[in-house]
Structure 1
């Protein structure tokens, strides 16, 4: 594409003047965000690829983009007509960035690779430096951002106002959270820490914002020492009420741009810096005696929901379930009547959610994938791709909402008419994995990697698989993707404890044909305590019927069938009192027990 070609030409000219052989553009920002304000979407600007995960690398003669399996199909389409070559992460034959650079720069006069130290984490830069040094003595320069001059209409950093999260929803005062954070830091022999991740800051301060699309967070840093807490933020975002509240909670306020100076003048003996969440430039600014590079304790503290947050989740899921039932009841007749597309389905579902109390927006851009589009894991319909939805086959809808009392994330695959035997079989195998994870009981401290096989075993027996994670944490009116707990094939050491949320979302995607995913958000709750210790189990927060039309009941075990029917009975009992009579009739039919 002409625009991308022009940007690459301009970049390469700047690289020549700076004697750089290559430049690396990550998908993140100075706060290690998955979803970032437009100001930091440099990778999208230079490549045209809009996915939330990926890294673009440009040399004087080549360009490549690395992304994961969620975006393989979308990236192929968006990179078409540009110089960028798609690199499929974790697929056989795909080189790492360092391997590719070493090969591409073999004949280069320069051995210097550039990246912006403000948008790459300390750990990423250190690992890249070591890897490139081994592969030919390449060096990494971190103090240059070409976008400052090349991106002429670059959006400003947002200045939208910050809001309070009421104590009846947060469940704990900021003073108390800061006390617990300091106690956790002392157990790690640390005097203080810098919080860069925006959801950690919002949770700690019981504040919310709207600086990031779909995520109620605000751009800031929080520097915590043993005796002082300083919020670095653009002060125009703070009302007199918020400033008074922060003072009351023992939090000072300074300008966002002064965070590096604050680190240089940090007066404690040592500081904890999370190398996976703190950008390289700021990590290097600390001037105290010792830097402890360790995982921040705040993410795990935030992940364990208190009673008020759990109560809020249940309220939000009830509202979401009501909206989903209204939508599902409307869906098939509307499709049969004609005139519906992927985007009109999205608009209808969003409007039903928006009518619920405390609705604040969607928690991510809704995925409505009809038939073959369902095989594109993070598909988003555009004016060019918007497919007409017909009364045949099925549609995959992955959606969620931000309510002030909780965040939702749900996927349903819905048959709209005749479907194939292959679709029915794949759907049932995915459902088996979904049920096995939802049913499991496990010792406190089990990791998500240990649980992942439960969701995949029925698929693996048939030679099927999926390449995204099986589950992620969900924030309490915060980011829809939250950690540290995850369920996935790759090793993740974070342990599960009561109070943690997790999604349960296995799937199968057959490019050009169809995709299936079923997803609920679960809450980890206490189970039995035996001579072998405390056990945990999952309770479904999501309340919404699962389409029974495609299910091959004979493939379900007795336990799976009983669990499925019990879930549907609960959905009907909880949601029905909040529905209109005709909606109650529809729900009763949609949740009637399956029999052999």
Structure 2
């Protein structure tokens, strides 16, 4: 059943809450206060009790900041949320294009030298603090208790979801092996601090329920060079879970005292630990080494077992998607709302009897709502799916053997030439990434341009990365790999990414086409001179709406890719569906007609 999300957010209350925050700022003699969308664990996703940005401003995106001053309050959002933020926040808040406008630069322009800006040291990383301070060297940045928490009278309690084991039959490596392997790689550090929930879940082969749609548990951990882990987590979450002799469990309130007793040096990731961790180590006189989260890269390179599980999850999910799309195509234009679409799609996934949860709140946007990149329908915004519109559906499932994420944009009735032309250019970008072969050592920033080339030829673009990493029954957004201009980590075998170029015409329509792909070794070609070549294997097998393709814009190779992809979709998914869905699939996967070509 469809449920309204982000109950914490109430834009109408924003002005009153901002006024109350300013009162607290005055009591602390602060000229500004920083409110990031973050928690003490520094993951992308936060529990309701930690969604301070949404509570204060009404903005419900997955990334952003508010900087409150006495006379203004900036809400900093990236290209994914520029339309959404204007629709969600009251006039008391001013949207700011970030990172084009930096927090520090904005503060430096708004406050005189010597002014004090407060922040909660649990919610900002050392790297973020250094960047802000470098951009605003004349300001004083003060560590203070969280002022939002003082005024949030009905703040939800911290989550206490039960933890359960992810068996080695699904991970491909036992926790003891992971701990020993990573401990050996610490180099000169005696310990490494882990705060990211998915890193801890991956290392210990556990999953949890503290974050909606993401099977992780809140906690902190210390990985020691002797091949042991101390896990700081509420014991009530771990009832019945035996983590073995290498793992010691302690209460979360023992984390800071334990840091003060460590023998250094201690490795911390300046991009993912809170400033409070480094402060505690510094206060105890313990040497600190900056280094990447030791779990991040190993976690991103999936084992053969995880990849095989992901393939199975995607086929299961594809059958649910096909049944959904067949149903959708049979409904008269104007008979459905966006919520009807969400409800039916989630019902099809549940009908697999294998779904643990959806992997994020389903995006169902028709017409102008589709142009809001991360739009999520509510009872208030729920629009009817009318003839001539594009319907953008971005969704995914959490299965015990894999995480899925797929976007399909479909035609409702007869759509215009502009929509079809833009759709085709987006599709060309998705195909370019799908067909790519490259020398080992390249990163997402080297490839992102290929997804945009045909859009750029027409003077078009999209304001988000082309792809993100995806976990194995973990978070649907996973680093460090990114298929984006900001992606600097070289792709390695086993990394799973999304391939999702798009285009958004504000106020009219949105287009996104998304498959998941996994990096694999490319077979050698005759005459090849590059020793190590990589390529992508497609994981997602769901038809692309051929009615929206302007085939005259395609090259012969692109047309062949579409026909080959659809033939493979029918071969793989056809045996998994029957009746009307099977008939629909055969039509949806038919080769492009000669007159179309």
Instruction: Provide TM-score, normalisation by structure 1.
Output: 0.95
Match status 1:86 vs 2:110 = no
The one of 104, 107, 115 aligned to 2:110? 104
Cα distance in 1 between the residues matched to 2:421 and 2:13 = 45
Seen in structure 2, the aligned counterparts of structure 1 residues 592 and 236 have a Cα distance that, compared at 3 Å, is same
Q: Which residue of 2 aligns with 1:317?
A: 314
Seen in structure 2, the aligned counterparts of structure 1 residues 335 and 483 have a Cα distance that, compared at 3 Å, is farther
Q: Which residue of 1 aligns with 2:437?
A: 441
How far apart are 1:308 and its partner, in Å?
1.2
Cα distance in 2 between the residues matched to 1:454 and 1:335 = 37
| Superposed CA offset, 1:71-90 (max 9, x none) | 1111001113x410010124
- Give matches, 1:122-271, under 5 Å: 122-133=126-137, 137-186=138-187, 189-227=188-226, 228-239=228-239, 241-242=240-241, 245-246=242-243, 248-267=244-263, 269-271=264-266
Match status 1:62 vs 2:72 = yes
Cα distance in 2 between the residues matched to 1:577 and 1:51 = 39
- Give matches, 1:125-524, under 5 Å: 125-133=129-137, 137-186=138-187, 189-227=188-226, 228-239=228-239, 241-242=240-241, 245-246=242-243, 248-267=244-263, 269-286=264-281, 287=284, 289-336=286-333, 338-490=334-486, 492-524=487-519
Cα distance in 1 between the residues matched to 2:342 and 2:62 = 20
| Superposed CA offset, 1:280-299 (max 9, x none) | 01122124642111212311
Cα distance in 2 between the residues matched to 1:124 and 1:173 = 34
Cα distance in 2 between the residues matched to 1:394 and 1:130 = 45
Seen in structure 2, the aligned counterparts of structure 1 residues 233 and 533 have a Cα distance that, compared at 3 Å, is same
Asked if 1 retains the 8 angstrom alpha-carbon contact of 2:119 and 2:143, the reply is yes
Q: Which residue of 1 aligns with 2:566?
A: 568
How far apart are 1:260 and its partner, in Å?
1.1
Cα distance in 2 between the residues matched to 1:335 and 1:483 = 41
Deviates more, 1:516-525 or 1:278-287: 278-287
Cα distance in 1 between the residues matched to 2:535 and 2:12 = 54
Asked if 1 retains the 8 angstrom alpha-carbon contact of 2:176 and 2:246, the reply is yes
Q: Which residue of 1 aligns with 2:7?
A: none
How far apart are 1:249 and its partner, in Å?
4.6
| Superposed CA offset, 1:87-132 (max 9, x none) | 01245xxx422222223223x9x61100100011111112222322
Match status 1:44 vs 2:54 = yes
Q: CA RMSD in A?
A: 1.5
Asked if 2 retains the 8 angstrom alpha-carbon contact of 1:424 and 1:552, the reply is yes
How far apart are 1:523 and its partner, in Å?
0.9
Cα distance in 2 between the residues matched to 1:2 and 1:206 = 42
Cα distance in 2 between the residues matched to 1:180 and 1:7 = 48
Cα distance in 2 between the residues matched to 1:466 and 1:2 = 30
Cα distance in 2 between the residues matched to 1:436 and 1:4 = 44
Deviates more, 1:425-434 or 1:524-533: 524-533
Cα distance in 1 between the residues matched to 2:329 and 2:590 = 18
How far apart are 1:229 and its partner, in Å?
1.2
Match status 1:114 vs 2:118 = yes
Structure 2: gaps (5+ residues): 1-10
Match status 1:15 vs 2:12 = no
Asked if 2 retains the 8 angstrom alpha-carbon contact of 1:271 and 1:288, the reply is no
Asked if 2 retains the 8 angstrom alpha-carbon contact of 1:528 and 1:534, the reply is no
Q: Which residue of 1 aligns with 2:553?
A: 555
Cα distance in 2 between the residues matched to 1:355 and 1:265 = 51
Asked if 1 retains the 8 angstrom alpha-carbon contact of 2:186 and 2:225, the reply is no
Cα distance in 2 between the residues matched to 1:381 and 1:533 = 49
How far apart are 1:502 and its partner, in Å?
0.8
Asked if 1 retains the 8 angstrom alpha-carbon contact of 2:437 and 2:533, the reply is yes
Asked if 1 retains the 8 angstrom alpha-carbon contact of 2:390 and 2:510, the reply is no
Instruction: Provide TM-score, normalisation by structure 2.
Output: 0.94
Local SS of the residue matching 1:575: helix
Asked if 2 retains the 8 angstrom alpha-carbon contact of 1:174 and 1:249, the reply is no
Cα distance in 2 between the residues matched to 1:557 and 1:392 = 27
Asked if 2 retains the 8 angstrom alpha-carbon contact of 1:270 and 1:288, the reply is no
Asked if 2 retains the 8 angstrom alpha-carbon contact of 1:396 and 1:411, the reply is yes
How far apart are 1:224 and its partner, in Å?
0.8
Q: Which residue of 1 aligns with 2:5?
A: none
How far apart are 1:398 and its partner, in Å?
0.6
Cα distance in 1 between the residues matched to 2:233 and 2:254 = 9
How far apart are 1:138 and its partner, in Å?
1.2
Q: Which residue of 2 aligns with 1:583?
A: 581
* Alignment length (residue pairs): 578
Asked if 1 retains the 8 angstrom alpha-carbon contact of 2:199 and 2:299, the reply is yes
Deviates more, 1:139-148 or 1:472-481: 139-148
Cα distance in 2 between the residues matched to 1:96 and 1:436 = 33
Q: Which residue of 1 aligns with 2:8?
A: none
How far apart are 1:434 and its partner, in Å?
0.5
